[in-house]
């Protein structure tokens, strides 16, 4: 079987979808079940990140993801190519090729929180994503929560949806945090950690409010490290207590997770929540919201609070920070929980889907 894999989401700086695409493709190629792969990539340098194989051919293209051009230019690029399946690990696929397609839908955040996104995003979902989902052969997603959303909001038969959860690379493990590392980032001996982006559903505004209360009332001595957030104005009492890291390399993030008192992840919604899984793999306790996939991913290892109530977030922080035994217990539970998420499992599930369609 010849499989076309759209790897245009893989780049130098990768977030959730890029990580999923890279690790899934790497695992698919490692399985070596005799299939051929044609890989769409956005640059020749991506090819160097995978071992050479006579059964894998990379096809570079400059056609951007989520664009009108891809609906016309990708089919032209593939005009003379012969393949059995087209797997897009992103939300998008040329509609004329969708009948050969497998589409990964990671979440439906754009439909659940439309006010957080522009008109272009909403139109893209209505005009491309919904049509692609109805035409493609299978839909993959990353959690039971996202599957339920897809069934409800896109009216997709549950039998058409297969769960391929995110996994973890070997880098995510408890790691020593040296003093020079803390000095480089201006960290206090203890600190709290937020990993996300400025989108409202990530809930950083309420996290910041909860942290301010914790500092004022509990005299918490540590700083709040905000990864993925650009520097912004904060209230005077905590102005010198915030560390903003808009970008952070994985090697540094492993140490930040490993040394943090607590990961603050009370999102209003997540289709999966990869930072929570990464933090648990590094032995860091996690405070999560009760919405979306986070309770599913963290299980008993996470402390869930109402993400819409600042005081609930504060109480959750206090519970972990004041009870050291609880924090250690959550760390151990998180390590055990994270061990169940591997890219090998994800790759095997995807290959089983491919092969079931071929048969």
Q: If DSSP codes are grouped into helix, strand and coil, which group holds residue 94?
A: coil
Statement to judge: residues 136 and 88 lie in one domain:
yes
Q: How far is Cα 263 from Cα 287, in angstroms, rounded to an integer?
A: 6
pLDDT number for residue 191:
95
pLDDT over threshold 70, residue 231: yes
253: closest CA among 317, 350, 352, 168? 168
Check whether 51 has a pLDDT greater than 90.
no
Q: What percent of the chain has pLDDT over 70?
A: 99
Q: How confident is the model at residue 45 (pLDDT cuts 50, 70, 90)?
A: confident
Tell me: do 132 and 184 sit in the same domain: no
Query: What is the average pLDDT across 15-36?
Result: 89
Contacts of 324 (CB under 8 A, 6+ apart): none
The model's confidence at residue 333, banded by pLDDT at 50, 70 and 90, is very high
208: left (phi over 0), alpha (psi -120 to 50) or beta: alpha
Contact, 293 vs 272, CB < 8 A?
A: yes
Tokens at residue 62, please? 């400059």
Shared domain check, 320 and 209: yes
Residues 64 and 82 in one domain: yes
Asked whether residue 271 is assigned to any structural domain, the reply reads: yes
**Whether residue 147 is found in the same domain as residue 245:** no
Q: How far apart are CA 289 and CA 291, in angstroms?
A: 6
What integer is the mean pLDDT of 314-341?
96
Cα dist from 81 to 42, 64, 110, 294, whole Å: 18, 20, 33, 41
Q: Specify whether 149 is located in the same domain as 194.
A: no
Q: pTM for this structure?
A: 0.92
Please tell me whether residues 328 and 230 are part of one structural domain: yes
Residues 57 and 24 in one domain: yes
Angle at 330 between CA 315 and CA 283, to 5 degrees: 120
Together in a domain, 159 and 116 = yes
Does the residue 172 lie in any domain?
no
Number of separate domains in the chain: 2
Residue 317 pLDDT > 90: yes
Domain with 301, as residue range(s), is: 179-338
Phi, psi of 134 (to 5 degrees): -70, -30
Structure tokens, 126 = 């209505």
pLDDT of residue 125: 79
Mean predicted confidence (pLDDT) in 56-61? 93
Residue 48 sits at φ, ψ, to 5 deg, of -70, -15
Is there a domain that residue 173 lies in? no
Please report whether residue 9 resides in a domain: yes
141 shares its domain with 269: no
Residue 24 sits in the same domain as residue 125: yes
Looking at the fold, whether 15 and 158 belong to one and the same domain comes out as yes
* H or E segment to which residue 245 belongs: strand 242-245
Query: Which CATH number is 44's domain given?
Result: 3.40.50.2000
| Confidence at residue 117, expressed as pLDDT on a 0 to 100 scale | 79
- Using alpha carbons only, give the angle 177, 183, 187 rounded to the nearest 5 degrees: 75
Whether the pLDDT of residue 15 is over 80: the answer is no
Question: CA–CA separation, 296 vs 5, rounded Å?
Answer: 28
pLDDT at 67 over 90: no
∠ Cα 285 246 244 (to 5°): 65
Instruction: pLDDT band for 13, please (50, 70, 90 cuts).
Output: low
339, 277 contact by CB (below 8 A): no
């Amino acid at each position: 079987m010849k499989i076309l894999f759209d790897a245009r989401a893989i780049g130098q700086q990768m977030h959730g979808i890029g990580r999923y695409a890279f690790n899934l493709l790497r695992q698919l190629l490692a399985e070596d079940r005799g299939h051929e792969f044609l890989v769409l990539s956005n640059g020749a340098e991506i090819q160097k990140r995978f071992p050479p194989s006579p059964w894998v051919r990379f096809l570079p293209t400059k056609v951007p993801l989520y664009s009108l051009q891809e609906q016309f230019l990708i089919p032209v690029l593939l005009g003379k190519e012969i393949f059995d399946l087209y797997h897009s690990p992103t939300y998008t696929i040329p509609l004329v090729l969708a009948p050969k397609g497998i589409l990964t839908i990671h979440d439906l955040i754009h439909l659940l929180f439309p006010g957080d996104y522009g008109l272009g995003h909403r139109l893209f979902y209505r005009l491309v994503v919904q049509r692609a989902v109805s035409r493609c052969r299978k839909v993959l997603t990353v959690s039971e929560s996202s599957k339920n959303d897809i069934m409800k909001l896109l009216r997709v038969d549950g039998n058409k949806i297969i769960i391929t959860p995110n996994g973890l690379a070997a880098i995510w493990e408890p790691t020593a945090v040296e003093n020079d590392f803390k000095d480089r980032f201006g960290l206090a001996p203890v600190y709290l950690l937020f990993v996300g982006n400025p989108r409202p559903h990530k809930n950083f505004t309420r996290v910041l409010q909860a942290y301010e209360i914790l500092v004022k009332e509990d005299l918490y001595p540590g700083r709040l490290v905000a990864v993925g957030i650009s520097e912004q104005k904060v209230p005077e009492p905590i102005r010198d207590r915030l560390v903003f890291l808009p970008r952070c390399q994985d090697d540094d993030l492993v140490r930040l997770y490993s040394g943090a008192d607590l990961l603050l992840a009370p999102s209003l919604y997540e289709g999966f929540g990869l930072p929570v899984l990464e933090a648990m793999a590094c032995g860091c306790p996690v405070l999560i919201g009760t919405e979306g996939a986070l309770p599913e991913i963290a299980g008993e290892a996470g402390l869930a609070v109402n993400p819409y109530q600042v005081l609930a977030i504060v109480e959750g922080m206090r519970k972990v920070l004041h009870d050291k035994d609880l924090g250690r217990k959550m760390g151990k539970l998180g390590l055990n929980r994270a061990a169940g998420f591997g890219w090998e499992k994800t790759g095997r599930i995807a290959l089983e889907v491919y092969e079931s369609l071929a048969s």
